[in-house]
Amino acid sequence: MLRTHTCGQLRQSDVDQQVTLAGWVDKSRDHGGTIFLDLRDRYGKTQIVVNPDSGAQHLQTAKDLRGEDVIQVSGKVSTRLEGKDNTKLATGEIEVLATDVQVLNRSRTPPFFPNQEELPGEDLRLKHRYIDLRREGMQKTLELRSRIIKSMRDYFAEHDFIDVETPILGRSTPEGARDYLVPSRVHWGQFFALPQSPQLYKQILMISGYDRYVQIARCFRDEDLRADRQPEFTQLDMEMSFVDADDVMGMIDGLMAKLAHEILGIQLPTPLPRMTYDEAVTKYGSDAPDLRFGMQIVDCSDLARQSEFRVFRGAVDAGGFVRGIKVEKRAAEFSRKRIDELTELVKNDFGAKGLAWFRVEEDGALWSPISKNVEEPVLEGLKQRFETEPGDLILLLADTWEVTCKGLSGLRKRLGAELQLYDPSQMHFSWVVEFPMFEKDEDEDRWVAMHHPFTAPRAQDLERLEDDPQACRAQAYDLVINGYEAGGGTVRIHDSEIQQSVFGLLGISPEMAADRFGFLLDALGYGAPPHGGIALGIDRVVMLFGGLDNIRDCIAFPKTQRAMDLMTQAPGDVEAKQLGELHIQVETPPAK
């Protein structure tokens, strides 16, 4: 072997041992003819001392070394001189007195160094990901990811789940986001699709009698990207038979408690708190609210109806709402410029028409540039509704339900962070349940599934499927951590007639259902048990447990927001011969 120990392994108990280390030169310092090297691998760093006693050849080799050169060093472990300990390093009490220094591979000057304090732009780091992955922070995150996945596997193995791999090449089905398609060379003009999730396969496994399935699954979605989304991602996928929603959530409660204890060292009380979808969007404007702080949304639409102020009255007369949030005791921190910035935020990011605000004065009165336009009884009503105190700030939106939800949720999230209303290291876990079965696609004037077409309605809502789809609530549940959806699941439809009814509501004709989902409908007719499951986003879970802001920092080789791999330059062109074998002709793209 090229090494006897790693660079993070040696301790005071190893003094006087002869050892061989190998790794990357992290730093080099010349102290009057004695060279001090910090040798690094993913386990840590060890100080190497190369002096005249090491031999002239090895001393010269050490002098010529540069950052990121790969070397092998042999020598004796020694205690550092008194007062020279490095308490920041696990190996900080010892050093290795080199007797042999060999260069295994020299490095060109890299575009950036893994140990530099100020990181370069993300594009440069993604282009040279092999260097970025040498950073201590990245290595710790990937080690954390590995620990989390191992803990998940252990947990489900302890609960009698069977790990089953499902296909990557499958059938394109109209169940959500756009599929990634793979042309078949053998079957002219036909395509495989990469899985958006193993949804159909795991339901088939339940029908097949594998009552507890789990998988660390790779999934693919060709959708418009956001900062926390990736075209390919990894999820913890699980399914159970003969269960209801409480059973599935209870299983995940136990998993979260295990991870919280093993990774964060905290005791997480279970069962985790639950909130209905309606309560979440009414109080927080989001189906994934951050519950580490308050600042609940207050509805003032009834007060607005009593006012002749055009902005308020006009919104409610048009069927809209006037809703707001209160910033407690911090009004003095909000200059007119800062409020203008918040106004631009809700206008540009959430489509609001504007932002109304009131400051609570020392005498308890509400002041604003618009306060003279609002009747005194309405102002008094606002004070009572928000339970105001001097120094409070009220922020109001007058718009549609959707815009007030998105705008106030966005304001709440931003102000919670800016005003430091919570401890960033704190973790809050909860469930949001009883989602609507359907939502309306206004562009196409049709119903779409809020989760997916295989979600079961609540038993008490079955009769509403045909007559009042909007009132149907699903047996659906999302795990929310710190304001992020960390996972989502449902109890599935296990009756083929109900499944056909849901397909019909979604505009999936019997012919299309038979073509795309015939195997599932067939299987449901051969003794399908009640079943349900969930998928947790592993990338998201690692991001949250690691206290990170960027999901790309949790993935070894991520894509950019434009779905590109800057390191390999994927996607890229292919040879005409390959396209010919696949019977594909590429059109010339339109001029930019």
Q: Specify the range with the lowest mean pLDDT, choosing from 77-81, 244-248, 500-504.
A: 500-504
Distance, CA of 546 to CA of 255 (rounded, Å): 17
pLDDT at position 16: 97
* Domain definitions of the chain by residue range: 12-105, 139-276+430-576, 293-421
pLDDT at position 175: 58
pLDDT at position 246: 97
pLDDT at position 556: 97
Average pLDDT of the chain is: 94
- In contact, 434 and 450? CB cutoff 8 Å: no
- In contact, 8 and 16? CB cutoff 8 Å: no
CB-based burial, 411-422: b 16+ in 10 Å, e otherwise: bbbebbeeeebb
Q: What DSSP designation does 249 have? A: H
Does position 524 have pLDDT exceeding 90, yes or no? yes
pLDDT at position 123: 96
∠ CA 217-221-224 to the nearest 5 degrees? 145
pLDDT at position 465: 86
Task: Answer whether CATH 3.40.50.2300 is correct for domain 293-421.
Answer: no
Reduced to 3 states (helix: H, G, I; strand: E, B; else coil), residue 286 is coil
Tokens standing for 146?
Answer: 């590995």
pLDDT at position 467: 83
List 321's β-bridge partners, or say none.
399
pTM: 0.92
User: Quick one: average pLDDT of 233-237?
Assistant: 97
* CATH number listed for the domain at residues 139-276+430-576: 3.30.930.10
Distance, CA of 93 to CA of 110 (rounded, Å): 31
Does position 163 have pLDDT exceeding 70, yes or no? yes
Distance, CA of 550 to CA of 548 (rounded, Å): 6
Residue identified by tokens 């509704």 is 385
Distance, CA of 325 to CA of 370 (rounded, Å): 17
How confident is the model over 404-457, as pLDDT tens digits? 999 999 999 999 999 999 998 899 999 999 999 998 877 777 888 888 889 999
pLDDT at position 386: 97
Counting beta carbons within 10 angstroms of the beta carbon of residue 83, is it exposed (0 to 12), middle (13 to 18) or buried (19 or more)? exposed
What ranges make up the beta strands (E) of 361-426? Answer: 366-367, 393-399
Counting beta carbons within 10 angstroms of the beta carbon of residue 462, is it exposed (0 to 12), middle (13 to 18) or buried (19 or more)? middle
pLDDT at position 216: 98
User: Quick one: average pLDDT of 27-48?
Assistant: 96
Could you please state the CATH topology (level 3) that the domain comprising 12-105 is classified under.
Answer: OB fold (Dihydrolipoamide Acetyltransferase, E2P) (2.40.50)
Does position 227 have pLDDT exceeding 80, yes or no? no
Does position 383 have pLDDT exceeding 90, yes or no? yes
From residue 83, alpha-carbon distances to 78, 87, 91, 92, 93 in Å are 14, 11, 15, 11, 10
Reduced to 3 states (helix: H, G, I; strand: E, B; else coil), residue 489 is strand
Distance, CA of 550 to CA of 539 (rounded, Å): 10
Backbone angles phi, psi at 588, to 5 degrees: -70, 125
How far the first Cα of the chain sits from its last, in Å, is: 56
Does position 554 have pLDDT exceeding 90, yes or no? yes
* Torsion sign across C-alpha atoms 223, 228, 230, 235: negative
∠ CA 151-155-157 to the nearest 5 degrees? 115
